[in-house]
Each structure stands twice: as C-alpha cells, then as structure tokens.
Chain A
Amino acid sequence: DIVMTQSPLSLPVTLGQPASISCRSSQSLVHSDGNTYVHWFQQRPGQSPRRLIYKVSNRDSGVPDRFSGSGSGTDFTLTISRVEAEDVGVYYCMQATHWPRAFGQGTKLEIK
C-alpha cells in the first residue's frame, strides 16, 4: 500500500509569513491515464475537512490564491504565501491514484 508522509507535523507560523508543507509518497503517484491524483485538504477546528487543491496544483473555487500546490512523482508541496489567522487548522495530503486511497498524517498549522 502507498504511504503518504507529511512534514512537518507541527507548523508554527507568524501572521503574514509564508508556510510550506511537504508530502512524500512511497511510490509514484502518476496514474496510467497521465494524471497525478494528489489532493490537499484543510480541516479547521471543529469542522469537516474541505478540499483546497486537486490534482497537485488546481485550486478549488473559493480558495484564496495565497494557497498553491506543486510537485510531481513522489514529492508534493502545499504553500501558503502569507498566513492569515483563518488558516489555523490541520492540513492533509491524499493520494487517489492507487488503491487503497491514503492520507498523510496531517500537519497542524498554528499561529506563533
């Protein structure tokens, strides 16, 4: 099975500063159809998860443009260009290329 490894697991950030979360997979996540099915989710305290980014780098509707995704193969990154207070929560990567699907462990972002 695919293992998704996120780092760091805890991310204290000063307001207005950038933040970056890494997600590495144990195997290539390039699908036979040529797509790479890596998605990023945000879970604010007490809420259901919300998708931010799909297929590596596509931002969902309504997601601020300070969020961006990048990467290829086995290495992926979620970047927040300038952290705001509403960004506090846990961020998860997920692979949907192979069965069974797998999430990373989660990265808890907090304001320093």
Chain B
Amino acid sequence: EVQLLESGGGLVQPGGSLRLSCAASGFTFNNYAMNWVRQAPGKGLEWVSLISNGGGDSSYYADSVKGRFTISRDNSKNTVYLQMNSLRAEDTAIYYCARQTTIDYWGQGTLVTVSS
C-alpha cells in the first residue's frame, strides 16, 4: 500500500524558515517523481514543486515560491523534502506530498502557519 507521511509543519514568523519532510513507503521510491502541493485555508489547490525520479537532477517550482523554496530527495531514506525560506503570510497552507507527475497518491498534509 502506497503511503506518504508529511511532517515538519508548524508556526513560524514571517521571514523564517521551515523544512518539511515526506516519508514514502509501499513503492519503489527511486522510480517516481515527487511533488509538493499546497492549500491555503478555505482555498483551492496550488502546485508548488516537483523533483524528478532517480537522481533527482531536475526540479521545478511555481513562480510564487521560486528562489525561496528548495525541493530535494534522499532515496536512501525514501524521503522528499521542501526547504522553505523567507516565509510570508501567504505561504500559510496545508502542504501535501504527492507521487509522480500524474499525482496518483497524496499524503494527509502538514499545516504551515506563517504569523507573528
């Protein structure tokens, strides 16, 4: 059974940093690209970032986070990360980890709140 378990969310002040993790199980992690998708409170879904499979040499970002967020993966730990720097109030959202380019599986999400 495919499982994606996000962690690392919490309350952070504007301008601060946070690193999210997503632990994957139930499939061959190295074979799949991985995404982060977020959802602000009461709002719709926003794609954030994708990292390619294998060595993870390719990464892509939404314009809203480019230059502030960095996606990475550790295939030995079956984990994908999202390093978030220079956080803003508008980054407040539930952050979901999702598998592959066609987004076939989602995690349960982790809440990030950016507030002073």
Contacts and interface: CB of A to CB of B under 8 A. Distances in A.
Interface of A: 1, 37, 39, 41, 43, 48-51, 54-55, 60, 90, 92, 94, 96, 99-106
Contacts of B47: 94, 100-103
A96 B103 contact: yes
A101 B63 CA distance: 11
Contact size class for B?
20 to 34
Given A37-B101, A48-B96, A96-B101, A103 B46 contact: yes
A49 B104 CA distance: 10
Contacts of B102: 37, 39, 51, 54-55, 96
B32 to A, nearest CB: 14
Q: Which of B105, B106, B107 has the most CB of A within 10 A?
A: B106
A48 B63 contact: no
Contacts of B11: none
Which of B37, B44, B46, B109 counts the most chain A CB atoms within 10 A? B44
Contact of A101 (B50, B96, B105, B107): B50
A100 B104 contact: no
A60 B61 contact: no
